[in-house]
Amino acid sequence: MGDLSLMNILDDRSKELRKMVIQMIESDRRGHIGPALSLIEIIRVLYDSFLKYDSTNPYWSERDRFILSKGHGCLALYAVLADKGFFSKDILSDFCSIDSPLGGHPERRKAPGIEATTGALGHGLPMGVGMALASKIRKEKFRVVVMVGDGEINEGSVWEAAMSASKHQLSNLIVMIDYNKLQSYGPTKEVLDLEPLAEKWSSFGFEVEEIDGHDINALIELTERLPLNNRKPTAIICHTIKGKGISFAEGKAEWHHKSGLKPEEIKALYDCLQ
């Protein structure tokens, strides 16, 4: 995909969504920063131009379902949901407080727009397969998009679900892999190498495409072509940068999660987005 660090200068909206992420971590001085910043463009495009939903009626039966299986990336999802009016932006500053609906991992029914409680990795895709299969059996029209992390797909439950999705020809299921190539304590290549990743998903019966996960125009163009195959589920490998937009955090495993952030560190985060 070339050097992603040299591509896709962030536009004003992507910067504003990142500032909302920083706003959330500012109150409690902690959060999964890196994993959220690799997701923002993907989730933004899904909610801007692909997913069918009603933010005033978040559990409308005909809505498309989006499951953030890598629940630790929830700061990005909260920012987009607030931006789309699912809940007030005012509650972002309460992130992780004792009474806040916005926890360190998303919880269904706690905050409007959260489809599944995720935190223990490897569970989102099995739930998504169940939803997509239910849609097919009931002859309903909603689609299911599941975002998984690259480290997360070490989990065997992901591949069990993938086999089931292929068996049932769930063309209404789209799996998006956040391939930032870093997991919590090191590069995926060193922890458990995923390559050849596209061939793996293809061998499990998916139609596969790779994309720069920060390229807004490319993401929009791709979503306009979904499903890629009317008889297969789709897997989209999104090449991303952990910590995208924060120069000193990009591609750094130590920014997977931070706690005890100092005021000057918070300021430095904001300064990168000016």
Ordered by start, the domain boundaries in the chain are: 11-271
pLDDT class for 185, splitting at 50, 70, 90? Answer: confident
**5 has a pLDDT exceeding 60:** no
Mean pLDDT of the chain: 95
**162 has a pLDDT exceeding 90:** yes
Domain 11-271: CATH superfamily, name plus number = Thiamin diphosphate (ThDP)-binding fold, Pyr/PP domains (3.40.50.970)
* Cis amide prior to 58 (ω within 30 degrees): no
Residue 65: CB partners within 8 Å, gap ≥ 6? 115, 128, 131, 142, 143, 144, 145
φ, ψ for residue 239, nearest 5 deg: -75, 120
Res 1: pLDDT: 60
Res 176: pLDDT: 98
Q: How far is 123 from 113, CA to CA, in rounded Å?
A: 18
Task: Write out pLDDT tens, residues 194-248.
Answer: 999 999 999 999 999 999 999 999 999 999 999 999 999 999 999 999 999 999 9
**111 has a pLDDT exceeding 70:** yes
Helix (H) or strand (E) holding 198: helix 197-203
